[in-house]
Amino acid sequence: MSIIQTDLTRINSFVFDVDGVLTDGLLYAFADGEQVRAFNIKDGFAIKHAIRQGFNVAIISGKNEPGVRIRLESLDIEDIFLGVEDKVEEFENYIYLQGIHPATVAYMGDDMPDLEVMQRCGLRACPADAADDIKAISSFIATRDGGKGAVRELIEKVMKAQDAW
């Protein structure tokens, strides 16, 4: 894990991609058309804890599956943006409406659709198994893979720096 030139005490918001970040990127497709992903319980705990401590948490994902929304809502996440074609536009709209400065946002992504939006954030983060181009721009590279605790690792690191964990 590495953090390069980032003041963790300034972070007040987390934005996450889903596939490859909150999940391991595997997708199980059943004959009836249902698509299933696995989420990490420890990541979920950290998200709920961050929300209870007053951090903003948002999800921006290109996919839109009902089961994913249900899981995210169960974590008390209110700002869920699924089926997003332009992540930058969605991100800019979200921070504008919430009054969040981009320098106070930690964004964790894992692949090329996240690259441009990550470049607008104060803390660019990725799981250990992220695409090389994403790792190259990240100031935080988790020691864990997506869906295997990378989200928890980021949240814990930020919250501990603020004595909020």
The CATH homologous superfamily to which domain 2-161 belongs is HAD superfamily/HAD-like (3.40.50.1000)
Q: Sketch the domain layout of the chain as residue ranges.
A: 2-161
19 is in an annotated binding site: yes
Residue 4 one-letter amino acid: I
Q: How far does Cα 126 stand from its chain's mean position?
A: 9
For 63-92, how does the pLDDT look when each residue is reduced to its tens digit (9 = 90+)? 998 899 999 999 999 999 999 999 999 999
Is 43 marked as a binding-site residue?
Answer: no
Q: Which residues pair with 60 in a beta bridge?
A: 81
Asked whether the predicted pLDDT for residue 5 surpasses 80, the reply is: no
pTM of the model: 0.94
Alpha helices in 53-126 (DSSP H): 66-74, 87-98, 112-118
Per the annotation, does 86 bind a ligand?
no
Distance between CA 12 and CA 60 in Å, rounded?
17
